[in-house]
Structure 1
Amino acid sequence: MVSRAPAEQISERAQHFLKVLIERYIRDGQPVGSRTLARDSGLDLSPATIRNVMADLEELGLVASPHTSAGRVPTAAGYRLFVDSLLSIKPLNRKTVDQLQQQLPSANTPGEIVESASRLLSSMTRLAGVVMVPKRNQERVRQIEFVPLSGTRVLAVLVTSAGEILNRIIETGRRFERSELEQLSNYITEHYAGHDLESVRRLVLDDMQATRERMDDLMAEALRMAQVTFSTDAEDEADVVVSGQTNLMDFDELARMDRLRELFEVFAEKQQMLHLLDRCLEVDGVQIYIGEESGYETLRDCSIITSPYKVDDEVVGVLGVIGPTRLPYDKVIPIVDVTAQLLGAALKFRS
């Protein structure tokens, strides 16, 4: 993992040079030499003094010297110190927030809103945008209806708080009249509406155990059908929407064909993305993974900036961006943060 050198162990002058070096490298993508540092730092120091400071930073593992250049580039540890202690982040101006809000219309379906958020992150940052589709387990039940089909089959239509409509065909033990199914629908909606799907599954099982001896036929059938309707299957598995992968081709450090192939396989397969985003569900606010901090070798040259998004104060997913370690953190972090807030608000409006 990336070792973290505390800022207090480094002189203010060395911190200043590290900050100048990283900002220059993020902007140009080229190793930064002593002459450039002297000009950009605004300090009247001799080249020898600057070289000594750079040697100290290199010894601490915060910068490195590429073989092809006398200049230095930041390491993952250098970026970590920069992000944790030296970075200045300004909130987005009102015009940019309005622009983001206009491009994330709440009138669309939840799936369309999530896809819009992924494209928006990509277009605003020129990086790859990733958005975890809201976890259905954490969505609340708004309404359920049973519709008779042929024979003993019944269509269960579940409406969630996010406006999602989930359908499931149930095989029943007998044919039901439409009026009976309306009674079952009303019973389940009355008892379980407002609870998230995971809670409903537990409540149904508890109710079946607690009322087994005294439940009438209607209650027994309602609970049995609820158990089938709310059971977990492949439809409940998480998914992630990725946009703007080709933006990564604009960065020399990621543009080699073998690196692009590795990254695109990660985006296509999605499991690593989902595992990484899952880790961010339990953490409030913006999370930043630099290089190997992600835990995935394929993402060793990348930084990932994520933020959870909420509906009714409940975290239902995570969004973020993926790019090279030299991405402009000061500009990207507030975009990710605000987009998460806007996505949650758009999904809440749908509920």
Structure 2
Amino acid sequence: MLDDRARSLLKTLVERYIADGQPVGSRTLSKASGLELSPATIRNVMADLEELGLIVSPHTSAGRIPTPRGYRLFVDTMLTARPMDAGMPEMAEAPLHPDQPQRVIAQAATLLSNLSSFVGVITAPKKASVFRHIEFLRLGERRVLVILVAPDGDVQNRVLFTQHDHSQSELVEATNFLNAHYGGLSIEEVRLRLKSEVDVLRGEIASLMRAAVQVGTEVMEENQEQVVVSGERNLLGVQDFGNDLGAMRKMFDLFEQKTQLLRLLDTSSRAEGVRIFIGGESGVVPYEELSVVSAPYEVDGRVVGTLGVIGPTRMAYDRMIQIVDITSKLVGNALSQR
């Protein structure tokens, strides 16, 4: 627990360091905090904050900078909402095209990057594992085209090579039967029902049903969440990373591989509102130099993806919260118009 004086000095130090990027000394703190404290008193408080692991003195500098733990305390207990920046409403009204979901996702990543001047990330909406309609068409001897139509109108086609040749009339019969009895169910529900019902289904329908389930499973695997990243090069201009080539290499590996990003964003999708991960505390993005501000977005009241901003720990968190919150609502609204 910090007393009011220590809290005020820590808040001032974090704000000054975010604004200037320079270690903050006792004289600067004395002026900026508005507290009438002697330099000796401020130095004593700074020593206490350093002992608590909230600030640190880089190299031989007389000033101090926040640690990830210091940023965490600042964000959780001292950050105050700021009025919306002038110009942000206009920038946030970038045209999103609800008839082109993939374009909405790409534009949202770019919007996040442009507004923040850091890296924008967003996961594409999770594909529903449900088919609204299925159809079989004969292509030739022992070759059948399976057409799967999802509730959102997405169409997937696959060619099956069957053990037996099927006439088009048999395929029409199988199509009608499957749509009547299984349409609207998830692929996993169909799989479970098929295990108990396969004995009572006619042979050709059972084999086609098993093939359709396999196709549906493959479609689900192909359409696993994809993450779109925009603005990686913005980090090249961040002075915090400029001289650390090793850190830059690790960060670009993160953006290239994307697996860790997906895990982090998946964690965010299970929370309400904006979440902030600072430094290596998430255990998912293990870099002390990075912070992530993220939020889930909804389509028709259901969380379908996550978006966020990735930048240095020395970022204007209040502004990033605004950017992420506004963009999540824009994406949700655009995709709900489909």
Q: TM-score, normalised by structure 1?
A: 0.85
**Hey, what's the Cα distance between the residues in 2 that align with 1:93 and 1:219?**
61
Partner of 1:116: 107
Shift of 1:300: 2.2
Other structure's SS at 2:198 match:
coil
Partner of 2:95: 103
Partner of 2:188: 202
Other structure's SS at 1:337 match:
helix
1:12 and 1:117, CA in 2 relative to 1: closer, same or farther beyond 3 A?
A: same
Map residues 50-89 of structure 1 onto 2, 5 A cutoff. 50-89=42-81
2:225 to 238, 245, 258: 238
**Hey, what's the Cα distance between the residues in 2 that align with 1:175 and 1:207?**
26
Tell whether the 8 Å contact from 1:118 to 1:129 is kept in structure 2 after alignment: yes
Structure 1 spans left out of the alignment, 5+ residues? 1-8
1:135 maps to a residue whose letter is K
1:145 and 1:284, CA in 2 relative to 1: closer, same or farther beyond 3 A?
A: farther
1:318 to 306, 317, 320: 306
1:321 and 1:162, CA in 2 relative to 1: closer, same or farther beyond 3 A?
A: farther
**Hey, what's the Cα distance between the residues in 2 that align with 1:311 and 1:140?**
17
Partner of 2:149: 159
**Hey, what's the Cα distance between the residues in 2 that align with 1:164 and 1:118?**
23
**Hey, what's the Cα distance between the residues in 2 that align with 1:181 and 1:349?**
36
1:60 maps to a residue whose letter is L
1:316 maps to a residue whose letter is V
Other structure's SS at 2:296 match:
strand
1:55 and 1:71, CA in 2 relative to 1: closer, same or farther beyond 3 A?
A: same
**Hey, what's the Cα distance between the residues in 1 that align with 2:330 and 2:168?**
41
Tell whether the 8 Å contact from 1:204 to 1:226 is kept in structure 2 after alignment: no
**Hey, what's the Cα distance between the residues in 1 that align with 2:279 and 2:153?**
37
2:206 to 217, 220, 245: 220
| Most deviating of 86-95 and 74-83 | 86-95
1:100 and 1:222, CA in 2 relative to 1: closer, same or farther beyond 3 A?
A: farther
Shift of 1:36: 1.4
**Hey, what's the Cα distance between the residues in 2 that align with 1:345 and 1:189?**
32
2:25 to 22, 25, 33: 33
Tell whether the 8 Å contact from 1:129 to 1:242 is kept in structure 2 after alignment: yes
Partner of 1:4: none
1:124 maps to a residue whose letter is L
Partner of 1:6: none
**Hey, what's the Cα distance between the residues in 1 that align with 2:180 and 2:329?**
31
**Hey, what's the Cα distance between the residues in 2 that align with 1:226 and 1:94?**
54
Map residues 299-338 of structure 1 onto 2, 5 A cutoff. 299-338=287-326
**Hey, what's the Cα distance between the residues in 1 that align with 2:133 and 2:86?**
38
1:129 to 111, 120, 133: 120
Tell whether the 8 Å contact from 1:288 to 1:304 is kept in structure 2 after alignment: yes
1:166-220 Cα offsets, whole Å, 9 max, x none, are 332222334445565455445444545545xxxx122212322333343346753
Shift of 1:88: 1.0
**Hey, what's the Cα distance between the residues in 2 that align with 1:342 and 1:151?**
50
Partner of 1:247: 234
| Corresponding residue pairs, total | 336
Shift of 1:339: 1.6
1:245-277 Cα offsets, whole Å, 9 max, x none, are 011112122223222111111111111212222
Shift of 1:165: 3.4
**Hey, what's the Cα distance between the residues in 2 that align with 1:55 and 1:212?**
73
Q: TM-score, normalised by structure 2?
A: 0.88
Shift of 1:315: 2.3
Tell whether the 8 Å contact from 1:20 to 1:41 is kept in structure 2 after alignment: yes
1:275 and 1:297, CA in 2 relative to 1: closer, same or farther beyond 3 A?
A: closer
**Hey, what's the Cα distance between the residues in 2 that align with 1:133 and 1:119?**
14
| Most deviating of 84-93 and 258-267 | 84-93
Tell whether the 8 Å contact from 2:97 to 2:103 is kept in structure 1 after alignment: no
Tell whether the 8 Å contact from 1:104 to 1:113 is kept in structure 2 after alignment: yes
| Most deviating of 214-223 and 224-233 | 214-223
Tell whether the 8 Å contact from 2:279 to 2:286 is kept in structure 1 after alignment: no
Other structure's SS at 1:322 match:
strand
